[in-house]
Structure 1
Amino acid sequence: SIYGENVGQILNLVAAEAAPSRQGVLDILQEKPAHILSELPYLKMPAHHDVRSKDINIKRLGAMLYHAHNIETKDFDELLLLKGMGPRTLQSLALVSEVIFGTATRFSDPARFSFAHGGKDGHPFPVPLNTYDQTIDFLDRIVSKSGLDRSEKISAARKLHEMSRRGEQDFIGDEGKFAEVVELQRKEAMRHGGRTVFDDVKRADRDRSAQNNQLELF
């Protein structure tokens, strides 16, 4: 058993599912220290954990959000397979399709892709579980299908990325509105089942508080 304050999920390195993690640790331990030290200068991470406007290509993000929330899939033959999907799911699929079909130059601001499904720590917003599931379902159908049906779904995802990319040409980004965009995304995420890893911790704290209050009555 493990005793201590509940701060979220615990990584069980002895579990069968953790075999790749164990192997990774062993691989690192077997490396020569000089080799590991030579790689450290390339591991550059920001000193902050939250997503800020300086981490994002505002023009790319803004154009994608605009098209995802204003596009009419019924007006484009290539997007008919996306018909019925809400703006929030299209937003996620647009970013996922960019990861799949985008060129290397598209990944100069990787933090932008956190706007697909948020972050489990709540940055830039909680994970919208409903949207997350819909995205996985769409990708699963692409993988599981074959022939023409699969080709059409791949074409629809590629078209979504291309339309968003072309829209960047005439889009003017405004860094001053980044905080407002993040706040809107937070509210949107909560409407779609937004969750973070801290939710269980908060729930446990409330349960302990309620239990303590009840004990004080006796």
Structure 2
Amino acid sequence: MAQRAGNADLPLHGGRVPRWLGDRMTRLGTMITEAIVHHYGRDEFLRRLAHPFWFQSFGAVMGMDWHSSGITTSVIGALKRGLTPLSGELGIHVCGGRGQHSRKTPGELVSIGDRIGFDGARLAEASRLVAKVDSAAVQDGFDLYLHGFIVSDDAKWVVVQQGMNGDRRQARRYHWLSEGLESFVNSPHAAIEGRGQGEIINLADRRAARSRASQLDLLSALGPDGLVRELAVIESGGAPAAPVQPMLPHLVMPAHHDVRESDVNMRRLHGNFAAAADRGPKDFEELLLVPGVGARTVKALAMVAEVVHGTPCRFSDPARFSLAHGGKDRHPFPVPLKVYDETINVMKSAVQKGRLGREEELAALRRLDEQSRRLERYVTGPDLKEIVAGEFRDSARLGGRSVFGWEAEHQEDQRDGPTSAANVRTGY
């Protein structure tokens, strides 16, 4: 039986992903997907997508706003663009999307089913049911606006969909996984993310089975007028209060834009950086022969390697992964495009050689992740403010860019550099 993994707060952000970042997210997201499928198979990739903490970390390592609702849209979009040309090779198909694209999901599934050989009509019905459960059976104040359906050639699937509450400026993301799913109305979610809104009506919880049956009985026995009378009795205090359901574990994504030390597991971050310093020289022949790759890129690769190889408990602090390639809104720092492009080149080289049976570079990335976990038990390093300040000092040299434009050369008198957009050149 699929179980909920928890929930998380997601500030609702507007705007768009600029093309210079969206194209890179597509390429890096595709390379990470290929690496996961290569090492662990398609089923594991679907399980990762159904894990809300991993999903948020995946978006953060790609340079998207680390805490916002926009990660959902941008990650689904990047995967659809990047994996569609490789669907014949990987056997993974991304359907749906935001707004009008979500409504095309059933038709896409039928078309893919006709081409691949699975029952697309049955999956189209599953898509509709998933949307109905999260919009009607789970009455939590969020209106669905995004529906992504990712399916493999053997008809296993994961759904990631998101709703918004405009009044509260918050979003809630829902994760579904077909693996082990026995019922669409009996605790089917793999996870739900979103800020707690107090007690909600969740008729899709297995604990609501008696409630669902009772509602049908009441409707049959009392009719609409009788239900109105019963409701009046309850509201007047004539019926005992229902027990409060236990709260699920949840990841709280804060409203503040800046990445703070409280958002990051510094022990793990220091482990990432120490592994980059220690492992990089040892693996130079396997990992660093891609032209232009330097020490800063190896730091980013350590976090990319963790997204590929890390276990679920490793993603409790998604903000840490924004230290790989920054964020488009300059938090924690502008996206260092030279580093980003070097990361893509290394991943591309490793994946392409891995397809041909040459595992040296993929093995080097795995060792980088293993070393991070070993070193984090005892290494120390600078605090987060010092790390971020260093990134801002180097930003222009590393091709720093954000939605505000390219980064100017650092000046010592720009004391507010890390938090101000006034010191950047505008333009895209």
Task: Quickly name the TM-score band, shorter chain normalised.
Answer: 0.7 to 0.9
Instruction: Compare 29-38 and 95-104 and name the one that shifted more.
Output: 29-38
Deviation at 1:62, TM superposition (A): 1.7
2:278 to 58, 66, 71: 71
* Higher-strand-fraction structure: 2
Counterpart mapping for 1:68-217 below 5 A: 68=276, 70-71=277-278, 73-74=280-281, 76=282, 78-84=283-289, 85-145=293-353, 146-149=355-358, 151-172=359-380, 177-199=383-405, 203=426
Cα distance in 2 between the residues matched to 1:10 and 1:58: 29
Cα distance in 2 between the residues matched to 1:138 and 1:166: 23
Deviation at 1:189, TM superposition (A): 3.1
> Does the CA-based 8 Å contact 1:8-1:197 persist in structure 2?
no
Flag structure 1 segments of 5+ consecutive residues without an equivalent. 1-6, 12-16, 205-218
> Does the CA-based 8 Å contact 2:351-2:362 persist in structure 1?
no
Deviation at 1:114, TM superposition (A): 0.3
Q: How many residues align?
A: 189
Deviation at 1:199, TM superposition (A): 1.2
2:138 to 35, 48, 53: 35
Cα distance in 2 between the residues matched to 1:8 and 1:190: 24
What amino acid is aligned across from residue 193 of structure 1 in structure 2? G
Cα distance in 2 between the residues matched to 1:32 and 1:43: 22
Relative to the length of structure 2, the TM-score reads: 0.39
Cα distance in 2 between the residues matched to 1:94 and 1:10: 25
Cα distance in 2 between the residues matched to 1:203 and 1:91: 28
Cα distance in 2 between the residues matched to 1:10 and 1:102: 27
Cα distance change, pair 160–29 in 1 and its aligned pair in 2 (3 A): closer
Cα distance change, pair 10–160 in 1 and its aligned pair in 2 (3 A): closer
Which structure has the bigger radius of gyration?
2
| Residues 28-83 of structure 1 deviation map (CA, whole Å, 9 limit, x = unaligned) | 97543451518543574212111000000111112222332x33644x3x552123
Cα distance in 1 between the residues matched to 2:405 and 2:15: 9
Flag structure 2 segments of 5+ consecutive residues without an equivalent. 1-13, 19-80, 82-94, 105-127, 142-191, 197-249, 407-423
Relative to the length of structure 1, the TM-score reads: 0.72
> Does the CA-based 8 Å contact 1:79-1:156 persist in structure 2?
no
* Higher-helix-fraction structure: 1
Deviation at 1:138, TM superposition (A): 1.5
SS of alignment partner, residue 377 of structure 2: helix
Q: Does 1:21 find its partner at 2:244?
A: no
**Which residue number in structure 2 is paired with residue 215 of structure 1?**
none
The higher-RCO structure (CA 8 Å, 6+ apart) is: 1
| Residues 167-202 of structure 1 deviation map (CA, whole Å, 9 limit, x = unaligned) | 11221356xx32111101222333210000111795
Cα distance change, pair 43–59 in 1 and its aligned pair in 2 (3 A): closer
**Which residue number in structure 1 is paired with residue 47 of structure 2?**
none
> Does the CA-based 8 Å contact 2:275-2:368 persist in structure 1?
no
Identity within the alignment, %: 40
| Residues 144-171 of structure 1 deviation map (CA, whole Å, 9 limit, x = unaligned) | 332332x212101001111122111221
Cα distance change, pair 154–186 in 1 and its aligned pair in 2 (3 A): same
Cα distance in 2 between the residues matched to 1:9 and 1:34: 31
Cα distance change, pair 99–43 in 1 and its aligned pair in 2 (3 A): closer
**Backbone CA RMSD of aligned residues:** 3.3
Deviation at 1:106, TM superposition (A): 0.8
